[in-house]
Structure 1
Amino acid sequence: MKKLIPLLLLLVLSSENTIAQQMTGIMPLRERAKLEDNVLQERLDKLLPELMRREGIDMWVIIAREYNEDPIARTMLPATWLAARRRTIMLFTDQGPEKGLEKLAVARYDIGKLMKGAWKPEEEPNQWKRLAELISERNPKKIGLNISPQFAHADGLTKAEYDSLMHYLPAAFKKKVVSAEQLAVNWLQIRTPTELELYEQISRIGHRIIAEGFSEKVVKPGVTTTDDVVWWYRERIAELKLTAWFHPTVDLQRANPGSGDSQRSFSQRPEVEVIMPGDLLHVDLGITYLGLNTDVQQLAYVLKPGEKKAPDYLKKALNTGNRLQDILTSKFEAGKSGNQVLKETLAQAQKENITPSIYSHPIGYHGHGAGPAIGMWDQQQGVPGTGDYLLQYNTVYAIELNAKVVLPEWNNKEIRVMLEEQAVFTPNGVRYIDGRQKELLLIPRSKTQ
Structure 2
Amino acid sequence: MKKFLLLLLLPLLTTAQTKAQEIPNILPLRDRAAVEDALLQERLEKLLPGLMRREGIDMWVIVAREYNEDPVAKTMLPATWLAARRRTIMLFHDKGTGKGVEKLAVARYDIGNLMKGAWAPEQEPNQWKRLVQLIAERNPKKIGLNYSPTYAHADGLTKAEYDSLIHYLPAAHKKAVVSAERLAVDWLQTRTERELDIYEQISRMGHKIIAEGFSEKVIQPGVTTTEDVMWWYRERIADLKLDAWFHPTVDVQRANPGAGDSQRSFSQRPGVEVIMPGDLLHVDLGITYLGLNTDVQQLAYVLKPGEAEAPAYLRKALATGNRLQDILTSKFKEGKTGNQVLKEALAQAQKEKIIASIYSHPIGYHGHGAGPAIGMWDMQQGVPGTGDYPLRHNTAYAIELNAKVNLPEWNNKEIRVMLEEQAVLTPNGVRYIDGRQKELLLIPRVATHLKQ
Q: Tell me the secondary structure at the aligned position of residue 221 of structure 1.
A: coil
User: Structure 2: how far apart are the matches of 1:359 and 1:439?
Assistant: 22
Q: Tell me the secondary structure at the aligned position of residue 335 of structure 1.
A: coil
Tell me which amino acid in the other structure corresponds to 1:90. M
Deviation of the 1:12 alpha carbon: 3.0
Q: 1:2 to 1:383 in 2, by over 3 A?
A: farther
Deviation of the 1:17 alpha carbon: 2.3
Quick check: 256-265 or 362-371, which moved more? Answer: 256-265
Q: 1:262 to 1:289 in 2, by over 3 A?
A: farther
Q: 1:102 to 1:355 in 2, by over 3 A?
A: same
Match of 1:44 in 2: 44
Aligned partners of 2:397 and 2:423 also within 8 Å: yes
Q: Tell me the secondary structure at the aligned position of residue 67 of structure 2.
A: coil
Match of 2:72 in 1: 72
Match of 2:410 in 1: 410
Tell me which amino acid in the other structure corresponds to 2:320. T
Aligned partners of 1:295 and 1:398 also within 8 Å: yes
Q: Tell me the secondary structure at the aligned position of residue 405 of structure 1.
A: strand
Deviation of the 1:262 alpha carbon: 4.5
User: Structure 2: how far apart are the matches of 1:411 and 1:331?
Assistant: 35
Aligned partners of 2:258 and 2:273 also within 8 Å: no
Deviation of the 1:7 alpha carbon: 1.1
Unaligned stretches of 5+ residues in structure 2: none
Unaligned stretches of 5+ residues in structure 1: none
Match of 1:342 in 2: 342
Query: Does residue 1:169 correspond to 2:169, yes or no?
Result: yes
Percent of counterpart pairs with the same letter?
Answer: 81
Aligned partners of 1:251 and 1:260 also within 8 Å: no
Match of 1:237 in 2: 237
Q: Tell me the secondary structure at the aligned position of residue 89 of structure 1.
A: strand
Deviation of the 1:98 alpha carbon: 2.6
Q: Tell me the secondary structure at the aligned position of residue 105 of structure 1.
A: strand
Q: Tell me the secondary structure at the aligned position of residue 399 of structure 1.
A: strand
Q: Once the two structures are superposed, what CA deviation does each residue of 1:76-112 show, in whole Å capped at 9, x if it has no partner?
A: 0000000000000000000012321100000000000
Query: Does residue 1:103 correspond to 2:103, yes or no?
Result: yes
Aligned partners of 1:373 and 1:387 also within 8 Å: yes
Deviation of the 1:382 alpha carbon: 0.3
Deviation of the 1:447 alpha carbon: 3.4
Q: Once the two structures are superposed, what CA deviation does each residue of 1:260-284 show, in whole Å capped at 9, x if it has no partner?
A: 7245334322100000000000000
Aligned partners of 2:88 and 2:105 also within 8 Å: yes
User: Structure 2: how far apart are the matches of 1:204 and 1:419?
Assistant: 16
User: Structure 2: how far apart are the matches of 1:285 and 1:54?
Assistant: 35
Aligned partners of 1:191 and 1:396 also within 8 Å: yes
Match of 2:426 in 1: 426
Match of 2:368 in 1: 368
1:379-390 map, 5 Å: 379-390=379-390
Match of 1:280 in 2: 280
Match of 1:183 in 2: 183
Deviation of the 1:332 alpha carbon: 0.5
Aligned partners of 2:4 and 2:34 also within 8 Å: no
Match of 1:91 in 2: 91
User: Structure 1: how far apart are the matches of 2:402 and 2:261?
Assistant: 15
Deviation of the 1:177 alpha carbon: 0.1
User: Structure 2: how far apart are the matches of 1:31 and 1:71?
Assistant: 24
Tell me which amino acid in the other structure corresponds to 2:77. L
User: Structure 1: how far apart are the matches of 2:419 and 2:402?
Assistant: 6
Q: Tell me the secondary structure at the aligned position of residue 147 of structure 2.
A: coil
User: Structure 1: how far apart are the matches of 2:21 and 2:434?
Assistant: 18
User: Structure 1: how far apart are the matches of 2:337 and 2:47?
Assistant: 23
Match of 1:256 in 2: 256
Match of 2:15 in 1: 12
Aligned partners of 1:253 and 1:260 also within 8 Å: no
Aligned partners of 2:282 and 2:300 also within 8 Å: yes
Q: Tell me the secondary structure at the aligned position of residue 132 of structure 1.
A: helix
User: Structure 1: how far apart are the matches of 2:90 and 2:19?
Assistant: 48
User: Structure 2: how far apart are the matches of 1:141 and 1:400?
Assistant: 41
Q: Tell me the secondary structure at the aligned position of residue 255 of structure 1.
A: coil
Q: Once the two structures are superposed, what CA deviation does each residue of 1:160-197 show, in whole Å capped at 9, x if it has no partner?
A: 00000001111110000000000000000010000000
Tell me which amino acid in the other structure corresponds to 1:101. V
Equivalent pairs, count: 446
Aligned partners of 1:254 and 1:260 also within 8 Å: no
1:207-218 map, 5 Å: 207-218=207-218
Q: Tell me the secondary structure at the aligned position of residue 274 of structure 1.
A: coil
Match of 1:195 in 2: 195
Quick check: 8-17 or 73-82, which moved more? Answer: 8-17
Q: Tell me the secondary structure at the aligned position of residue 392 of structure 1.
A: coil
Q: 1:262 to 1:393 in 2, by over 3 A?
A: farther
Q: Tell me the secondary structure at the aligned position of residue 419 of structure 1.
A: strand
Match of 1:145 in 2: 145
Deviation of the 1:257 alpha carbon: 4.7
